[in-house]
C-alpha cells in the first residue's frame, strides 16, 4: 500500500510545476463527469447526487428507434428526464446535465444504418436537439460501441460534422448557448475487434466534439478466465492494454489533451484463483469470481472485503487495488489508485475525468477523493 505513494508524490510535483507554467494560459474548465445509469434510481435518486463533486452529469441512456431514428419517450420517461434536469440544476446551477445516447452491448447496433445517409443523420440529429431542449438538458453524448468498420468510422465523422453544424445553427436561431456534444470512445483510437481494424476519425473528433470520454477500463474480464487482471491498468509493462497506451495513442492521433477526458471505473472484475497462494495481478485463474458475470460495483467490493475479511493490496505496476480471500480475487480501483490516475491525467494535460458510474461509489469516497485531487490554479 505504501509503495504506491512515491508515484502519487512524483505526480503531484509534476503537476504543481505544470500548473504553475500553465497558469498564465487560458485553459478550458476541468471536466469532472459522472454517468448516471437510469437503473440506479432506487439506490440513488437524482436528489441524492452530490453535485459538489461534478461539473457534468450524464443520464444513461436513451436509445433511438432503429427504424425512425427518433426517440420514443414514454410519459413516465418524460417525467424522469424533466425531474432529472430540474433537480440537478436546482441543486447546483453550475452543473451541466447531458443525456447519453446508446450504450454498450445493444443489439442490433442502433446507429450503423442511421449514420449511412445524410437524410437519416438529419432526422436523428434534429431529434437529439429536440429532446435536449424539451427536457432541459445542456447537451448530449454519443455512446456508439462501436463503429464496426472503416466505412462506419467515415459515417461517424459525417455525423459529428453535421451534428456540430446543426448545434451551431440552433443556438444562433434560438439565441441560447450551444448544446454540448461529446462521445464515449474506445480506450485507443485504433483497434482490432471482431476481425476488423478501424480508427476513429481524429480530425472530426477534434473539430466537432467538445471532448471525448475515453473508456479507460474493461481491459480484462470474463472473456479471459485464465488469468487475473487489473481491468483499468494505468500502466502495463507487458501489453498495450493500459490507459497510458490508449491516452497517448489518442494524443498521437491528433486529439489534443483538452479534448480528452479519462474514464475511471467504479467497479471491479473478479476471478476464481487456481491456487489461493498465487494472488498477485496476473495469477492463474480458473473462472470468474463473485458478482454478476464477474463484476462487482465498488460499493459491493467494499462490502465483500468487509464481509469476507479479504486481504486488500495495491499493485504498483498497474496502479490498481485488488483483494483476495480463499480462491476469490477482485481487481478494482479505490481512492488511492484513483487519485494517482487523476493526478496522472492532469499531468498529461487532459481535460478531466469521468466515472462509470454514479451509484456505484461507497458514499462518495472515491468520487470525493478524485474531485479534491484535481489541482486548481489559484
Ligand atoms: C430493430 O430492432 C429490432 C429489435 O430491437 C430488431 O428486431 C429489428 O431487426 C431492427 N430493425 C432494423 C432495421 O435494424
Ligand atoms: C422529482 O421526483 C421526486 C420523487 O418522485 C419528487 O419528490 C420531486 O419533487 C421531483 N422534483 C421535480 C423538480 O419535479
Ligand atoms: C503496442 O502497439 C504498438 C503500436 O502502437 C505496436 O508497435 C506494438 O507491437 C504493440 N505491442 C504489443 C505488446 O502488442
Ligand atoms: C459531498 O461531498 C463532499 C466532499 O466529499 C462532502 O464534504 C459532502 O459532505 C458531500 N455531501 C453530501 C450531501 O453527501
- The CATH number assigned to the domain holding 346 equals 3.20.20.80
Which segments of 102-255 does DSSP mark as H helices, in order? Answer: 118-135, 150-174, 202-208, 243-253
Give the atom of ligand 1 at the shortest distance from the alpha carbon of 110.
14
> Residue 34: in which H helix or E strand, if any?
strand 31-37
Range of the domain at 15: 2-266+334-373
Q: Is residue 204 part of a domain?
A: yes
Number of the ligand 1 atom closest to the C-alpha atom of 107: 5
- Residue among 318, 293, 289, 319 at smallest CA distance from 305: 289
The response to whether residue 24 sits with its C-beta less than 6 Å from ligand 1 reads no
* Catalytic site includes residue 145: yes
List of residues 6+ apart from 151 with CB closer than 8 A: none
pLDDT on residue 292: 96
Provide the pLDDT for residue 27.
63
Cell of 277: 497462494
Which cell numbers hold the place of 317? 505496476
Residue nearest to atom 13 of ligand 1 (CA): 67
Parts of the chain with a pLDDT under 50: 1-2, 9, 20-21, 23-24
* Ligand 4 atom closest to residue 50's alpha carbon, by position in its atom list: 1
Could you tell me which residues come within 8 angstroms of residue 134 by beta carbon, excluding any fewer than 6 positions away? none
Which residues touch 116 (CB under 8 Å, ≥6 apart)? 155
Distance in angstroms (rounded) separating the CA atoms of residues 78 and 235: 42
Structural domain includes residue 357: yes
Alpha-carbon dihedral sign for residues 104, 106, 108, 113: negative
Residue 39 lies in a domain: yes
Classify residue 3 by its DSSP letter: G
Quick one: cell of 254? 491528433
Nearest-CA residue for ligand 1 atom 12 is 66
Q: In angstroms, what is the span from residue 14 Cα to ligand 3's centroid? A: 27
Whether residue 94 lies inside any domain: the answer is yes
Ligand 1 pocket member 107 (CB < 6 A): no
Structural domains counted in the chain: 1
In a domain, 73, yes or no: yes
| Residue 323, domain member (yes or no) | no
- What's the pLDDT at 26? 57
Q: Which residues contact 358 (CB under 8 A, 6 or more apart)?
A: 34, 35, 36, 37, 40, 44, 49, 57, 266, 367
Atom 7 in ligand 1: residue holding the nearest Cα: 108
Q: How far is the CA of 221 from the centre of ligand 1 (A)?
A: 28
Q: Which atom of ligand 3 is nearest to the CA of 240?
A: 1
pLDDT for the residue 311 = 98
Q: Whose CA is nearest to atom 10 of ligand 3?
A: 240
Q: What is the pLDDT of residue 190?
A: 97
Ligand 4 in reach of 362 Cβ (< 6 A): no
By C-alpha distance, which of 200, 204, 147 is closest to 181?
Answer: 204
Asked whether residue 280 is assigned to any structural domain, the reply reads: no
Confirm whether 183 is domain-assigned. Answer: yes
- 246: which DSSP letter? H
Residue 295's φ and ψ, nearest 5 degrees, are -125, 135
Predicted local confidence at residue 14, as pLDDT: 53
CA terminus-to-terminus distance, the chain: 31
DSSP one-letter string for 131-172 = HHHHHT-SEEEEEES---SHHHHHHHHHHHHHHHHHHHHHHH
Amino acid at each position: 500500500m505504501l509503495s504506491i505513494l512515491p508515484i502519487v508524490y512524483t505526480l503531484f510535483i509534476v503537476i504543481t510545476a505544470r500548473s504553475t507554467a500553465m497558469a498564465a494560459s487560458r485553459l478550458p474548465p476541468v471536466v469532472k463527469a459522472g454517468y448516471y445509469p437510469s437503473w440506479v434510481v432506487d439506490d440513488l435518486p437524482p436528489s441524492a447526487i452530490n453535485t459538489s463533486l461534478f461539473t457534468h452529469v450524464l443520464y444513461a441512456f436513451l436509445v433511438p428507434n432503429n427504424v425512425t431514428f427518433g426517440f420514443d419517450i414514454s410519459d413516465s420517461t418524460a417525467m424522469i428526464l424533466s425531474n432529472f434536469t430540474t433537480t440537478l440544476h436546482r441543486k447546483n446551477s453550475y452543473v451541466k446535465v447531458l443525456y447519453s445516447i446508446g450504450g454498450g452491448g445493444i443489439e442490433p447496433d442502433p446507429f450503423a444504418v442511421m449514420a449511412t445517409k445524410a437524410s437519416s443523420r438529419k432526422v436523428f440529429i434534429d431529434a437529439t436537439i429536440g429532446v435536449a431542449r424539451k427536457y432541459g438538458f445542456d447537451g448530449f453524448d454519443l455512446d456508439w460501441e462501436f463503429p464496426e468498420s472503416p466505412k462506419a468510422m467515415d459515417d461517424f465523422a459525417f455525423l459529428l460534422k453535421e451534428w456540430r453544424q446543426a448545434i451551431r445553427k440552433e443556438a444562433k436561431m434560438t439565441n441560447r448557448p450551444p448544446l454540448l456534444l461529446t462521445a464515449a470512445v474506445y480506450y485507443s483510437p485504433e483497434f482490432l475487434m471482431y476481425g476488423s481494424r478501424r480508427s476513429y476519425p481524429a480530425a472530426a473528433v477534434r473539430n466537432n466534439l467538445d471532448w471525448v470520454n475515453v473508456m479507460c477500463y474493461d481491459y480484462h474480464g470474463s472473456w479471459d478466465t485464465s488469468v487475473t487482471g487489473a481491468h483499468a491498468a494505468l500502466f502495463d509493462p507487458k501489453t498495450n492494454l493500459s490507459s497510458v497506451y490508449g491516452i497517448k495513442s489518442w494524443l498521437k492521433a491528433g486529439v489534443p489533451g483538452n479534448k480528452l477526458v479519462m474514464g475511471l471505473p467504479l467497479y471491479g472484475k473478479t476471478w476464481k484463483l487456481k491456487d489461493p497462494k498465487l494472488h498477485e495481478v496476473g495469477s492463474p485463474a480458473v473462472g470468474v469470481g463473485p458478482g454478476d458475470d464477474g463484476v462487482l460495483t465498488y460499493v459491493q467490493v467494499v462490502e465483500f472485503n468487509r464481509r469476507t475479511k479479504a486481504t486488500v493490496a495495491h499493485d504498483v505496476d498497474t496502479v490498481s487495488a485488488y483483494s483476495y480471500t480463499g480462491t476469490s480475487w477482485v481487481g478494482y480501483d479505490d481512492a488511492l489508485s484513483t487519485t494517482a490516475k487523476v493526478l496522472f491525467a492532469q499531468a498529461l494535460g487532459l481535460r478531466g475525468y469521468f466515472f462509470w458510474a454514479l451509484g456505484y461509489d461507497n458514499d462518495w469516497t472515491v468520487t470525493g477523493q478524485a474531485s479534491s485531487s484535481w489541482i486548481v490554479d489559484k
